[in-house]
Amino acid sequence: MTVNVILFTLLIAMVFLVIISRASGGDPTLFGHQFKVVLSGSMEPTFQTGSVIAVDSAIDTANLEKGDIITFSESEDKLVTHRIVDVVQQGDSLMFQTKGDNNDAPDQQLVLADNVVAKYTGVTVPYIGYFLDFSNSQMGTAILLIIPGLLLIGYAFFTILGALREIDPKNKEESTTS
């Protein structure tokens, strides 16, 4: 019974993880927070490579200040998470000077407020990012859905087989005594 519950819970958790990852376009979202995988060591020791951080995409960039950790779009397909080291106001444009905690110098380009996509919420889960990154791949999706499902089916098969073995000897005894 306990094995059945564990396997079923594992299957449901994997399905939930894969569906959330796919529905949100790659990054899982839960309770309004997106979960981003840390792919480099630029923010160590604050975030270790392979960690998952929670970010809030519902932010007012006018309220960001020095010391905040933001996720911004560096290019069309690349997001970066660094700390704000200076807030720069040039005319009507609000920009941020950013720097990775593990980098020697600030980033070369100022970040436009329009390019900020999220702010770090303070939640970090170490090492689970490797798992999330794998689950977003096609092979990871297949493995995370198929293996727990096969384990559950296999366990059910052996449970049914064991129940049939228990029933079968009782039927033989009843037929010999009558």
> From CA 34, how far away is CA 51, in angstroms rounded?
13
State how far the alpha carbon of 36 is from the alpha carbons of 50, 84, 172, in Å.
10, 18, 61
Alpha-carbon dihedral of residues 10, 13, 14, 20, nearest 10 degrees? 180
CB 73 within 8 A of CB 118: no
Residue 75 designated active-site: no
Closest by alpha carbon to 133, among 46, 51, 60, 72? 51
Catalytic residue, chosen from 40, 57, 137, 175, is 40
Catalytic residues: 40
